[in-house]
């Protein structure tokens, strides 16, 4: 049995999609969903989906080993960041080498780094009149959005597309590809 844990900071629509994708798979289990926001919509989704969830604060993530120890206890095969906005502390990267995977809503290395998340990314893509954007699935290292790239998938942007249209296109790509890429990583 492979164990996945998920980290999310907001809506959690990717979390829900990943849960649905693996729900009939007897070889993969979603152990817990971690969130750093006590009012994140992802918590409502977890309740509805009957998935265990855990809210944590800055102290337990950065200052002491609370979250690290919980993760060591779970011993996950993969830690998936699905819309998680805090920087991953070095101790986590060191303890779970090549096991932490992030999805970024643009074609890295463009539109990455601190502050580049969610609509900020799509607004910047629109402001620069890009003709394409996409998603990047990558391993996490000590620096924001700089770990080894696992997969990138592109989509076209028309001049009429608003940042909201771009966000929708990106979410569609994420729903289609992220769970499949997770399954591929899990099976080597
Ligand atoms: C997703 O588009 C994900 O790529 C992005 O946040 C969104 C979360 O949506 N992640 C980042 O921007 C990370 N820098 P969701 O909560 O509906 O899954």
pLDDT digits (tens, 9 = 90+) for 29-46: 999 999 999 999 999 999
**What is the set of domains in the chain, with CATH numbers?**
2-186 (3.40.50.170)
Mutation choice for ligand 1 from 11, 13, 14, 146, CB with most ligand atoms inside 8 A: 14
Q: Can you tell me the mean pLDDT for 161-165? A: 98
Determine the atom of ligand 1 nearest the C-alpha atom of 14: 18
DSSP 99: T
Q: How far apart are CA 34 and CA 43, in angstroms?
A: 9
What per-residue confidence (pLDDT) applies to 143?
85
Pairing of strands 100-104, 132-139: antiparallel
Query: For all residues of the chain together, what is the average pLDDT?
Result: 97
Binning pLDDT at 50, 70 and 90, where does residue 2 land?
A: very high
Binding-site residues, ligand 1, Cβ < 6 A: 8, 10-14, 82-83, 103-105, 117-118, 121, 170-171, 174
What per-residue confidence (pLDDT) applies to 183?
98
**Exactly one of 20, 104, 171, 177 is catalytic; which is it?**
104
Sheet holding 132-139, edge to edge: 53-55, 28-35, 2-8, 78-81, 100-104, 132-139, 149-156
Mutation choice for ligand 1 from 53, 106, 118, CB with most ligand atoms inside 8 A: 118
Which pTM does this prediction carry?
Answer: 0.97
Q: Can you tell me the mean pLDDT for 157-179? A: 98
94: pLDDT strictly greater than 90: yes
Name the nearest CA neighbour of 171 among 10, 3, 7, 5: 10
Determine the atom of ligand 1 nearest the C-alpha atom of 170: 2
């Amino acid at each position: 049995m492979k164990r996945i844990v998920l980290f999310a900071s907001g809506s959690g629509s990717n979390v829900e999609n990943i849960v649905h994708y693996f729900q009939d798979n007897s070889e993969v289990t979603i152990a817990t969903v971690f969130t750093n926001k006590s009012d994140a919509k992802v918590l409502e989704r977890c309740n509805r989906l009957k998935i265990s969830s855990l809210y944590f604060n800055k102290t337990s993530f950065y200052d002491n080993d609370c979250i690290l120890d919980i993760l060591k206890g779970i011993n996950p095969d993969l830690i998936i960041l699905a819309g998680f906005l805090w920087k991953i502390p070095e101790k986590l990267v060191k303890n779970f080498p090549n096991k932490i995977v992030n999805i970024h809503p643009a074609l890295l290395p463009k539109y990455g780094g601190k502050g580049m998340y969610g609509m900020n990314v799509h607004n910047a893509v629109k402001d620069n009149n890009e003709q394409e954007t996409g998603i990047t699935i990558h391993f996490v290292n000590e620096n924001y959005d700089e770990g080894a790239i696992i997969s990138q998938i592109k989509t076209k942007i028309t001049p009429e597309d608003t940042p909201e249209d771009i966000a929708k296109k990106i979410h569609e790509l994420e729903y289609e590809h992220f769970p499949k890429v997770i399954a591929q990583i899990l099976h080597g």
